[in-house]
Structure 1
Amino acid sequence: MEKSDRKVITRSPSHGVAAVIAGGILNNYVEAESTLESDFIRRAALMPSHPKVFHQPFRLPISPKGYTPDFLLFFDSSGFKAVVETKMSMRIDAKYTELFDDAACFLRERGYIYFVVTEAELRHHGIHTRAKLLTRYAKQQVATSHADKIISIAASYPHGIPVGSLARKAQVPIHLILALVATGKLTTGPLLQTDASAIVNTLNDSKETADEILVRRWLGATPWDQDY
């Protein structure tokens, strides 16, 4: 694999380029060439284990011109590496299918798991809108005393507690709880529910602990080279 030499910041002005930091959750801005890529970056940033997100990480020598996937997710604690391509479903034709097959095989042999995610995974039931909302809440400063109280109460409910109920018991506004969800102190699960009835858990109570399982559940996708 070669380091990608593609520079999105030099693209034509007719191609919109965004720099996403997801409310400060990410350590650095991550470039996005489309709204679908922006949706993915926010979704990845909100994973409880907060992987590092790299845009166009390398070029794979699997075609005459090479192939540069959209993203690499790297999880420090486990070393798990997921390569992700974002693509509108209507564009995935036979040519792309063959390319993705080759990419999945090439990457798996080198310890990477390859995913292709579309608008079906990134935008179903308005999840991209909730992701954008949560990254805004991530900017909210939560006093340590409030955070400790909220997390302590949530931890006493092993099967979770509705956001609204937790807010009442902790005597805090709901947006403080959502700020803790956004920054990975609590979780409402991969659907990123934000309403008062959403069930919130502490991370210790969450089943989303193994990073490969987390990526599958969080994105609602299976690796490209698996059909289950």
Structure 2
Amino acid sequence: MMEADPLAVEILFHIGPVPIARQVVTTWVIMAVMVIFLRVFLRNPARDAGPVQAALEIVVMAIVSQLREVLNRDPWRYVPLLGSLFLFLAIANLSAILPGVQSPTGHIETPAALALIVFFSVHFYGFSVRGVGPYLRHYVQPTPFLLPLNLLSEITRIFSLMIRLFGNMMSHEFIIAILLLLAGLLLPIPFLLLGVLIGLIQAYIFTILASVYIAAAVGAAEV
């Protein structure tokens, strides 16, 4: 049965006074799987890479190549954040195709948390690369009268980042649920395949936008 409210949160248990929702548990499982998988296959990388290590290297180098084009500078400083962000989003978005699993990105809390990570990371890199003074001064350029608009843009772009991911993933899950209710198991199969494509595209868009925001924050201070 579908939830009456697509924004409803299913609480599985409590840790003290803190309620733990289903999507939080799913997020923990995804993170644990990523850590264990990468730990096992990349702990001692071999010169003659096996199929799994070779596939991971291809993914990493593809991410690095794309980030280099967007950032227009050496991307390795930003790969731990942006690469992990892409891999997590790809796995989280695709988890919805598994029976009984709800994608954590289909609930507003996860996109909000990821958007906040991007928000603070943008300022962290801006401060660390350009320095506190020069970074803060860009908010009053070319004129101090633009300060309110520049501050508002910081909030709105992060908000749009959150809403874009949440809206696309929630609407897709909602459509699949309706089709399952009305047509049974066979009709939604093409939509599940489409969901794989949508999940990867949304992970890509989120990561690229985060890269663009970071590139704007660090400016031309690093080459």
- Taking structure 2 as the reference length, the TM-score comes to 0.29
User: Which of structures 1 and 2 has the bigger CA Rg?
Assistant: 2
Richer in strand (by share): 1
Higher RCO (Cα < 8 Å, 6 or more apart): 2
